[in-house]
Structure 1
Amino acid sequence: MSATLLHGFPPAVDHRATVLILGSFPSVQSLANHQYYGNPRNAFWPITGELFGFDADAPYDVRLRALQSHGVALWDVLHKCRRIGSADSAIDPKSLVANDFGELFASYPAIARVYFNGAKACELYRRLVEQRDTDRIDFQRLPSTSPAHAVRPGAKLAAWRAIS
């Protein structure tokens, strides 16, 4: 694969974090917008807005602060990878570099619950991240908020209620 090596975002986290939501890697639109879940068709912001009572159409920094005020942090499993397009299936498996979760969990020890935004994030984490010293953390996979993951109306929101 001749795609450019892409770099993800730093974690959106502060000292109040008790919950971490992990995606796989930002979409093309997210990277271009420099925003987590920057594709307006992604259900992430409408779902979390509903769960935590904020306007999903508010400016990005307002939405991030709203999540953080509820103890929710965002990050992705991958720090770097090569991918053409936005599909998880297009990620070059030879290019995967995971984020440093040991450092994150050491720096933010109140994180006790990790939710994977979809199957790919869960699979990548389990395959690439060493899970030492994480006995205190509960891990759960949720349905992807991606527009590519089609489920019946309301099913994603119902499953995502686990984070609130």
Structure 2
Amino acid sequence: MGAENILARGEQAQQLLASVAEHTMAALCAHQLGASDKAMRMTASYTAERQQFGVPIATFQAVGHRAANCFIDVECLRLNCYQAISRLDDGVDASVEVAIAKVWAGDVGHRVSYAAQHLHGGTGIDRDYPLWRYCTWLRHNEMMLGSSARNLAALGSKIAAGEAFCA
């Protein structure tokens, strides 16, 4: 390996790796958004078609509330992902926005996955039904993003140190 193959050294290499890690986390959050959105939409479609007591289960209040919570979660994740990605695209510091998106992505993926499986009943865990794949992605992404408690603690430390949300 020659010197021409080395991209960066020292502090420049650390900055490059930090940038790659930040972009990777933002991309993983975006994947979590897509998988959450699809699982939510599959669930909405399923509950609109599945009949119990002669009516679609989507008309049941508890089902509607659970689905509405998923919708709100997905839209909040969308907002946080777009904010982080927009700042990265603009070339400005996005470390706080990426940290926030990571927290939302982990929590939303977890909640949407469980709600989707619950509202699908036994069909939700059947490997022959496509929801299984989305729930697997959601769990995988949640683990890759790190625990929300750890991510919130890191964000809290930045806020306490005056490195976030300060004018």
Q: TM-score range by the shorter chain?
A: under 0.3
The answer to which structure, 1 or 2, has the higher relative contact order (CA under 8 A, 6+ apart) is: 1
- TM-score (norm: length of structure 1): 0.25
Report the structure, 1 or 2, having the larger helix content: 2
- TM-score (norm: length of structure 2): 0.25
Structure with the greater alpha carbon radius of gyration: 2
